[in-house]
Amino acid sequence: MSYQDEDCLFCIIPNAPGRYDKMCEVRKQITIGNKNQMVFSYNSLEDYSPKSRIHIRILVPKGDGKTAAKLFMKLVNCCEDIFRIKTNTEDNTPMKWSNLFKKPYPDYSNINTIDELINFPTPDHYIKFYWSEHDIC
């Protein structure tokens, strides 16, 4: 499949020791499908520099936002600690223990479009992504 035939969900997260390896292990456990790809890369040659970021790309056939959303939610749920907000933004205190280890998408069977994914609240996790239809990402 050429890039003109793909849509892309793109996410950038800060790098930290073990994150890339963990995501690779999780990717092995997810059934991605023949026409889809989940690609991880670095923006920097230095593995753990302060500005190093991990780029996550989920590539799907044109018009298949549902598959991209489902794959992204599976990845995020399995790596929820990477996306977890660990301190309160108002006073910079640690989050309450009861708020930790919650899945960002506890029941994602009802989320079937990119718009539903965008509008789904994840108050205990910082999840920011970009959706690019019919374009290179």
pLDDT in tens, 92-125: 777 665 556 678 998 888 999 999 999 999 888 8
Query: Pick from 82, 78, 83: which is nearest to 31 by CA?
Result: 78
The pLDDT, as a whole number, for residue 13 is 92
The pLDDT, as a whole number, for residue 46 is 61
13 neighbors 23 (Cβ within 8 angstroms): no
pLDDT band at 2 (very low <50, low <70, confident <90, very high): low
The pLDDT, as a whole number, for residue 125 is 85
For 105-114, give one letter per residue: b (16+ CB within 10 A) or e.
Answer: beebeebeeb
